[in-house]
């Protein structure tokens, strides 16, 4: 895992903690090389998953309002979020850097 991906995961983790979620389970699904983290808060569940080497993270929540709150906070911290109901894609810093470099090319 590169430093930029770890930074994005750290940002997601800290933001979830600031919103009152506690990390409960972390692991990997070996069949598809996917990692995940499960966070809980008063009956709500938030699941973060990502493919090995990817800078795009998938977030699923039991409530759409939880996705909206997380999206607002992550956007404020500079990440790109694409919420849709109780699901969201978060583009990590590595992905954002690549898009900016592409836009700056003549």
Q: Which residues contact 3 (CB under 8 A, 6 or more apart)?
A: none
User: pLDDT at position 98, please?
Assistant: 67
Per-residue pLDDT of 22-58, as tens digits, reads 998 888 877 777 899 999 999 899 999 988 767 789 9
Per-residue pLDDT of 52-90, as tens digits, reads 767 789 999 999 999 999 999 999 998 889 999 999 999
Q: Quick check: pTM over 0.85? A: no
What domains can you pick out in the chain, each with its CATH number?
3-104 (3.90.1150)
Residue 9 pLDDT > 60: yes
Q: Are 85 and 67 in contact (CB under 8 A)?
A: yes
User: pLDDT at position 1, please?
Assistant: 37
């Amino acid at each position: 895992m590169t430093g930029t991906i770890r930074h994005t995961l750290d940002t997601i983790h800290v933001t979830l903690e600031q919103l009152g979620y506690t990390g409960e389970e972390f692991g990997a699904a070996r069949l598809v090389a996917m990692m995940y983290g499960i966070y809980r808060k008063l009956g709500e569940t938030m699941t973060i998953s990502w493919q090995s080497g990817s800078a795009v993270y998938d977030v699923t929540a039991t409530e759409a309002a939880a996705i909206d709150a997380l999206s607002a906070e992550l956007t404020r911290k500079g990440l790109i979020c694409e919420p849709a109901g109780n699901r969201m894609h978060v583009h990590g810093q590595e992905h954002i850097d690549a898009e900016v470099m592409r836009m700056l090319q003549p």
